[in-house]
Amino acid sequence: MALLYGGRSGEHEISLRSAEWVRTSLDRDRYEILDYFIDKNGRWDPAPILPEPGTNGGIDVVFPMLHGPFGEDGTVQGLLELAALPYVGAGVLASALSMDKTFTKRICREAGLPIAEFVILYPGRSETECVELPFSYPVFVKPANLGSSVGITKVSHCRDLPAALREAAQYDRKVVIERGISGREFECAVLGGEEALPMTPCEIIPSQEFYTYDDKYILDEARTELPAKLDPEQIEEIRNLAKRCFEAVGCEGMARVDFLMESATGRIFINEINTIPGCTSISMFPKMCEHSGISNAALVDRLIDLALERAKAHARLRHTK
């Protein structure tokens, strides 16, 4: 098994920690690990995976643990498709759609799933001064293609919007402005298969105003509740929405769907979907699976089995007339 980690995105360090989770979860009697590390400049060590089928000897399946652009966005998945290598997780299209928050929101909206109101700006081409929004402040300004809360700013007044746009524009040419939802934050793991299986959701209780990068990976002050303290109907609503979101974007293998519950109304909104969720010591994806009776070793086995099953199904398809 080839373990692919590192990468050029701002989530490089998180990828290293997620890869270590895979490494320690694997049954070494069943798997031999081949490490493929990508540094922050995009250089591969010991060598890159080549796009030609049959040129990557010794690899039976690839486990990508790359977060963010150049790994979770369909780029690496396209390389692995060209190389005819089975790989864990979502395919090219689902990876790309899920990575781009604007397309995720559009697909969810088309599927009748609840999302917060949003607008899209292109700071390099659009007005970066105070813009008129179709919803009130506070708002969240985010790069369209990034994770782990990198580049996100909460803006409470129009005068602070230009600085937030400049911050987000450092990471992407496309920026999303969302209506701020004041309330509680939840996550729900989903495991693929013939039918997507949503796990029991957890609640994230940030130590800061929202669940920032520092709160996730540095401060160690955020708290979690697993299972989330919700009534059974709310639990089932989140599980159902997670499954429907997973299916709407065409996801496979694994994902974590993030939610917001508005305090004023009790409404639950889908925030985003992550196709390669973090699997660090504090990440909730494996913990939610474990809470539902799936150990780390069994989870890795299942993800690899799903990758091999998909590859076999693809091999039966015709590509010429």
Q: Which residues are catalytic?
A: 11, 148, 217, 256, 258, 272, 274, 278
Question: Cα 206 from chain centroid?
Answer: 19
Contact predicate 287/226, CB 8 Å: yes
Burial category of 70 from C-beta neighbours within 10 Å (exposed 0-12, middle 13-18, buried 19 and up) = middle
Rounded to the nearest 5 degrees, what angle is found at the Cα of 15, between the Cα atoms of 291 and 21? 40
**How many other C-beta atoms can be found within 10 angstroms of the C-beta atom of residue 116?**
18
Residue 98 near residue 108 (C-beta atoms within 8 A): no
Partners of residue 235 on adjacent β-strands: none
Q: Which of 26, 91, 145 is nearest to 255 (CA)?
A: 91
Cα–Cα dist 94/250, whole Å: 5
